[in-house]
Structure 1
Amino acid sequence: MTVSYTLDISRSNTKSVIKLLFRWRGSIWKAVWLQLLAWCIAYFSISIVYRFALSNDMQKSFDTLATYFETYLEKAIPLSFMLGFFVNFVINRWKEFFHGLGWIDDFALAIATYLRGSTEQTRVLRRTLIRYLVLTQTLVLRDISLQVRKRFPALETLIAAGLLTQDELERLEKIPDVYTRYWIPCHWISELLYEAREYGHISSDYLLEKISDESNKFRHGLAELLKFDWVPVPLVYPQVIFLTVRIFFALCLISRQFLRNDDHDIYVPVMTIFQFIVFMGWVKVAEALLNPLGEDDDDLECNYVIDKNLICGMAIVDQGGQPTPKLGKDIFWDDHHMAPLYSLESAKRSVHPLIGSACKVNLVSHVNEITMTPHKNKLAHMSDAERYERTRIVDVADHNVRHNVQKRKDRRSNPDKSLSDIRKRVRTDTLSRVDNNGNGNAFYPEVTIDSKNMVTTRH
């Protein structure tokens, strides 16, 4: 199940960070606590044996071994480099999985728009096309995702789920090649689209191509998932990474011990524990994302995607052939200065407009004229007459006046003060309306919208 924390980080403040750090499901704490506990038990067990069970000569030998490991361990194993490169590779592969999973919206919109007709038979055709595409997705995912396989352990369960009919199942089982079987519903889609073009439900070959392209795009994404499942990351690569990290911290059980000749009385390896959390958490990221179609906390919700595509696709294509809303004037029809509305809470957020950062800089404020000439490289090849002819004098007095007027206007306009005035008026009108009517439901000049022409009327 995907762990969602997006709402928790809507604001980048201390509270959001604390909420994020102390989540459990899908967290670094859940991922590493068991390994960290085992490592700490092993570390303190070795420490106790070293201090109380070994003889002096054996302690000297242990000191020599621990010093040797500590000197050469991080030089011999470039852990940061190895983990950083591997995790980056795995995350990029995870992104390809996500994009290949398949979303039916574009195909459904194309079907609803371009496959015309309002008869029951046309509706059956649209819904069947959606069902076949979702069936294709399900056939692929149940063979590469254990969570989908558990949902549909046999093809007969697809009949009970409404994705397949008995006749269609018999046709699929007659095909000996399993890989070919995945794409048979896509072939049925192409056949139905061809027939729809022949009977005039699709008005042109161009629109037929548009619908087919959306179907092919969906199929190509699923084919990529099959390829990722067929050829995973070469086994030696994750083996090297996962084994190296564990060997590194196994050696740390000796190299990070506090020896007898140390000049401090610290017995808890705080920095090594912190390093263990960081590096082992990094490894757990890679382990979880190597197969994002599995059953880990952060794996992709394959079953939800199937449900979403089926429900959303059917709902969209059922709108095909339905009349659209009546056209009418929008509420900004007569506004020469459009001002979209915000709630008072959201209006207090400052907005930086999409304009150039140097657009308000006036570089000619102290002059009234500017002389424009060709570049000096060109002037060198011109005669005096040509230079004179190409030279222009530009009057910028009006520009300076307009700039000064706008500058004064910008200084006078205070967005925060304007919003504050609105807030005060809202509070005043609310109190006034409560006093007069006994309720505060309406606190500002009421606005109604004429449903026929969409023009606002104020009372």
Structure 2
Amino acid sequence: MTYSYSFRVTTVRLFGLARLLTIWRASVYKLVFLELLIYCLLYATGSCVYRFALSQTQKKLFEKVVVYCGTLENVLPLTFVLGFYVSVVVQRWWSQFMNIPWPDRMMAYISALIPGLDEATVTLRRTLIRYLLLSEVLLLMAVSAPIRKRFPDVESLVQQGLMTNQEYELYTDEKVPHISSKYWLPTHWCAILLGRARREKKIKDNFSLTVLLNELSTYKSCLGTVFSFDWISLPLVYTQVATISVYGFFINTLLSRQYLNHTSVRAEFGPEVSAKYAIDLYVPIDTLLQLFFYLGWLKVAEQMLNPFGEDDDDFECNFIVDRNLKVGLYAVDGALRREPTLQRDVWWQSGDPRLSYTEASEKFAMADGWFGSAANIAVPSIAPTDSTASRINLLPGIPEVTPLAGAVDGDNDEEDGEDNDEDNDEEETGSRVGRRLSLLSRSLSHGREASAADFEAATSAAEAGRRLPPLLHELKKPA
């Protein structure tokens, strides 16, 4: 099943990835060697027929067919089709793994929110975990060949202890809708048990019940997603297009890559066409490399289309089931009976807690820490200039900002009957006053003390605009 080579590539070293080429299990050689062998036999047969079995007239016709097939090699966008197809398949493959349900979060919530070591409470917790695992096994029985071989029918679940006889009768009851897989039923039993536990005060409040039900819903959502991936496959037409492109290309190369008599082709088609036949390569190395790459690319997608099968890189579903059973039951029972006692940590009296390094790991220590890539950039101090103030005739010493039009509104809404010219003058004056007051406000907000000249300039500007905004009432004139 899944082959992990992570340890082999933990550190970059000389020919690090090249050493992986010697691995047979889960390798590209294992996937393509049969097709490669068949191709070599067919190619050799065609070459022998051309060299030894055809007459001169037949050879001329064969050469024309070979040259014509050579013009078709660049018709198919093989790299584009394969690249996009494999990309979609890999994304789908990883999404399926990320949606495999794990009971770890649920068993932590059950342990914390349903306390107690009496037999009834422990039985409740263990039953909840068993129902979660039962629903997962029922799902995997529907989508995974290895799990189906391990649990061929529902009766085998009773024999294995995942389901009781009473639960089997309820599961196989004719009243239960059977239009699809019934993996959802044990999770429904979980919800019923949680509701009963709340009524019996084993769950102390409604909030705890809500937390458990929300986590149960997340678990059920993962089950449904995995089932949907099995139901809704990648469109068959897409897979067919990629497959036909690859195999069509190599069927074409069985003819287009055949060696032809250089002199005959030169006389018939000219030197440009005959140049590729100048050397008689009994083994078409370049063609075999293309076969290896393109067919290997396609086989990668084929292996990832259904990761719940029996290929070398398919998911270890049997391990997942065994692990979840052991960990889940221990977490809600055995772990609660063996809680560690609270003790002071070894750094209780230390203001600088540290962990030591071994000699092998000391070189990886990061002594200075990390403060950000821009933390050590030296920035010169920024001093305000008078050029902006003198240019737009604003308060001296206050940096330029974007004018805030409308910061101080005119009296147009309050003074009815004035003509349009007066309104425009008031709007212009109000805008100028607003700019001065907003600049003064920004200066004060940055901790700059306003001078008497600043205050008087702002006041005179406000009087010129025939209004005093509320900002002036908050300013305190310096002594």
What's the TM-score, normalizing by structure 1?
0.79
CA contact (8 A) 2:171 2:185 kept: yes
Shift in CA distance, 270/28, structure 1 to aligned 2, threshold 3 Å: same
Find the residue that maps to 1:14 and give its secondary structure.
coil
Residues 123 and 250 (structure 1), Cα distance of their counterparts in 2 relative to 1, 3 Å cut: same
Q: Deviations over 1:196-239 (max 9, x none)?
A: 11122212211111111221111111111221222212222212
For 1:380 and 1:327, the matched residues in 2 are separated by 71
Q: 1:353: Cα distance to partner?
A: 4.1
Give the direction of change, closer, same or farther, for the CA distance of 1:246–1:71 in structure 2 (3 Å limit).
same
Give the residue type in structure 1 aligned to 2:217. Answer: N
- TM-fit CA distance, 1:38: 0.9
Task: Tell me the amino acid that sits aligned with residue 292 of structure 2.
Answer: I
Measured after TM superposition, the shift of residue 181 of structure 1 is 2.7
Kindly report the root-mean-square deviation, in angstroms, between the aligned alpha carbons of the 2 structures: 2.6
- Of residues 315, 322, 327, the one that matches 1:307 is 322
Written as runs of structure 1 = structure 2, the 5 A alignment for 1:183-198 is: 183-198=184-199
Bigger radius of gyration among the two? 2
Q: Following superposition of structure 1 onto structure 2, how do residues 132-211 of structure 1 map, counting pairs within 5 Å?
A: 132-174=131-173, 175-179=176-180, 181-211=182-212
| Distance (whole Å) between structure 1 residues aligned to residue 137 and residue 206 of structure 2 | 29
The Cα of 1:24 is off from its aligned counterpart by 0.7
1:316 correspondence with 2:317: no
State how far apart, in whole Å, the 1-side matches of 2:88 and 2:100 are: 19
Letter in 2 for 1:101: I
Q: What residue in structure 1 maps to residue 127 of structure 2?
A: 128
Deviation at 1:377, TM superposition (A): 7.4
Q: Is the 8 A contact 2:385 2:397 kept in 1?
A: no
The 2-side partners of 1:37 and 1:87 are apart by 24
CA distance in 2, matches of 1:309, 1:376: 73
Structure 1 stretch displaced more, 343-352 or 28-37: 343-352
Query: Partner amino acid for 1:272?
Result: T
Q: Mark the CA change 1:45 to 1:208 in structure 2 (over 3 Å): closer, same or farther.
A: same
Alignment partners' CA distance in 1, 2:287 and 2:16: 28
SS at match of 1:177: coil
Question: In structure 2, how many angstroms separate the alpha carbons of the residues matched to 1:227 and 1:312?
Answer: 27
Task: Report what 1:422 is aligned to.
Answer: none
Residues 388-424 of structure 1: per-residue CA shift (max 9 Å, x gap) = 9859999xxxxxxxxxxxxxxxxxxxxxxxxxxxxxx
Match in the other structure for 1:49: 49
Per the alignment, residue 360 of structure 1 pairs with: 376
> How far apart, CA to CA, are the structure 2 residues paired with 1:235 and 1:218?
30
Alpha-carbon displacement from aligned partner over 1:75-106 (angstroms, at most 9, x marks no partner): x1111100111111111111121122211111
Q: Per the alignment, do residues 161 and 63 of structure 1 end up closer, same or farther by CA in structure 2, a change over 3 Å counting?
A: same
Report how far residue 288 of structure 1 moved. Answer: 0.8
CA–CA distance in 1 between the matches of 2:18 and 2:167?
53
2:278 partner letter:
D
Distance 1:353 1:86 in 2: 44
Q: Which stretch shows the higher mean deviation, 22-31 or 312-321?
A: 312-321
Alignment-derived partner of residue 106 in structure 2: 107
| Contact 2:106–2:215, Cα closer than 8 Å, also in 1 | yes
Determine if contact 1:112/1:319 at 8 Å carries over to the other structure.
Answer: no
1:296 aligns with 2:311: yes
Per the alignment, residue 39 of structure 2 pairs with 39
TM-score (norm 2): 0.75
Aligned residue for 2:403?
A: none
Q: CA deviation at 1:324?
A: 4.1
1:323 Cα shift?
6.8
CA contact (8 A) 1:115 1:320 kept: no
Change over 3 Å in CA distance of 1:196–1:38 after alignment to 2: same
Counterpart mapping for 1:246-261 below 5 A: 246-261=247-262
Aligned equivalents of 1:350 and 1:117: distance in 2?
Answer: 44
Question: Across the two proteins, how many residue pairs are aligned to each other?
Answer: 388
Select between 91-100 and 128-137 the one with higher mean Cα deviation: 91-100
- 8 Å contact 2:389–2:397 — kept in the other structure? no
Q: Which runs of 5+ in 2 are unaligned?
A: 263-276, 400-438, 449-479
Which residue is 1:403 aligned to?
Answer: none
Name the counterpart of 1:11. Answer: 11
1:25-65 per-position Cα deviation (integer Å, ceiling 9, x unaligned): 11001001111011111112211211222222222222222
Native 8 Å contact 2:389 2:395 kept in 1: no
Q: Distance in 1 between matches of 2:189 and 2:146?
A: 27
The worse-fitting range, judged by mean Cα deviation, of 325-334 and 124-133 is 325-334
| Structure 2 residue 87 is matched with structure 1 residue 88 | yes
Distance 1:284 1:118, change over 3 A: same
Q: Using the TM superposition, give the Cα deviation of residue 111 of structure 1 relative to its aligned residue in structure 2, in angstroms.
A: 0.6
Q: How does 1:265-414 map to 2 (within 5 A)?
A: 265-319=280-334, 321-322=336-337, 324-349=339-364, 351=366, 353-364=369-380, 370-373=381-384, 382-384=394-396, 386=398, 390=443
Query: Is residue 257–residue 287 contact of structure 2 (8 Å, CA) maintained in 1?
Result: yes
| Structure 1 SS opposite 2:184 | helix
Q: Distance in 1 between matches of 2:188 and 2:350?
A: 52
Q: C-alpha separation between the residues in 2 aligned to 1:27 and 1:294?
A: 17
Q: Distance in 2 between matches of 1:327 and 1:140?
A: 41
User: Residue by residue, what CA displacement relative to the aligned partner does 1:154-195 show, whole Å, maximum 9, x if unpaired?
Assistant: 111101111001110011000241537321111110111111
- Report which stretch shifted further, 371-380 or 146-155: 371-380
C-alpha displacement at 1:343, in angstroms? 1.6
